[in-house]
Structure 1
Amino acid sequence: MDTLFATLLASAALALSAPPPAEEESAAPAVSERILSTSPSYVRMEPVSASVRAGAYMGGVLEVQFALDIPDEALREQARASTLRLRDGYVTALTSYGGLGYRAGDVPDFVRITRLLQQSTDRTLGARGAEVLIRSIALHEP
């Protein structure tokens, strides 16, 4: 009898539940996919992360969300074509900061991280003209 009652209750709950949302309603853009600027010089980059040390152990993960502002169209197209090389340079720069420049318990150095990412951008593109725009820096500790 209890099984029959539970089955009837579950059937009633399913019948009264709202239909699933339409496809366009359920597909809200993720935070990193939102358009942050309508400027044609704005180039969105995927977040970059690297581990940080705490003594001899991993002290957490440092994540940086940023974009590039590149007014020069030719340089902007070069940056879009070099996305993988740019990301490699960013991960290398952030890893060196996390392994050598960060001390466990400190607040991540916004200025130093920005400078490292800017130097990596200039070196990878072979020219100045792309400005690193930091959106957020987060340290995720275990």
Structure 2
Amino acid sequence: MPVMETLFTTLLAAAALALAGPPPPAEDAAPSASDRVLSTSSSYVRMEPVSASVRAGAYMGGVLEVQFSLNIPDEALREHARASTLRLRDGYVTALTSYGGLGYRAGDVPDFVRITRLLQQSTDRTLGARGAEVLIRSMALHEP
């Protein structure tokens, strides 16, 4: 039995070392869709996608995801937006959740114009000034 115990201990140690090491470097990994540069303009500010649940009656009817960026020509406002990223995201999630809970009816196509308007209002309110334009890249409704 000591041989079996030694073998088991060796295998267990090897598994622990394999799991503890860093992953091997990716070789020429293609950038994901959200990592690709969409504009070389200095006024372009990429935002992380925002999602919120939508209701279908008394139940969750799916998840609405919006990918977008901001176009901010004014350098001072652009730096303010970059420094306020977390506050902007909070406002976007609140606006999208409000739309998903109150403005969306199950089975309808999401209202692109209304969602854009809600995100724009949230941007203006959070930054305290106009001058940052919301540019929707994609909108998807993932239903269960």
Structure 1 residue 29 displacement after superposition: 1.1
The answer to whether structure 1 residue 135 and structure 2 residue 137 are counterparts is yes
Inter-partner Cα distance in structure 2 for 1:139 and 1:101: 14
Summarize the alignment of residues 62-81 of structure 1 with structure 2, pairs less than 5 Å apart: 62-81=64-83
Which ranges in structure 2 are unaligned for 5 or more consecutive residues?
1-24
**RMSD of equivalent CA atoms:** 1.3
For residues 7-44 of structure 1, the C-alpha deviation after alignment (integer angstroms, 9 at most, x for no partner) is xxxxxxxxxxxxxxx8441x221111100000000000
Please give the secondary structure, in 2, of the residue aligned with 1:66: strand
Inter-partner Cα distance in structure 1 for 2:88 and 2:27: 33
Inter-partner Cα distance in structure 1 for 2:129 and 2:35: 28
Inter-partner Cα distance in structure 1 for 2:108 and 2:46: 28
Please give the secondary structure, in 1, of the residue aligned with 2:113: helix
Large movers: runs of 4+ above 2 Å: none
User: Which of 106, 109, 112 lines up with 2:111 in the alignment?
Assistant: 109
For residues 49-103 of structure 1, the C-alpha deviation after alignment (integer angstroms, 9 at most, x for no partner) is 0000000000000000000000000000000000000000000000000000000
Inter-partner Cα distance in structure 1 for 2:27 and 2:133: 35
Inter-partner Cα distance in structure 2 for 1:72 and 1:34: 24
Inter-partner Cα distance in structure 2 for 1:23 and 1:92: 37
**Partner in structure 2 of residue 90 of structure 1:** 92
**Count of aligned pairs:** 121
Inter-partner Cα distance in structure 2 for 1:124 and 1:61: 24
TM-score by length of 1: 0.83
Identity of aligned residues (%): 90
Inter-partner Cα distance in structure 2 for 1:137 and 1:23: 30
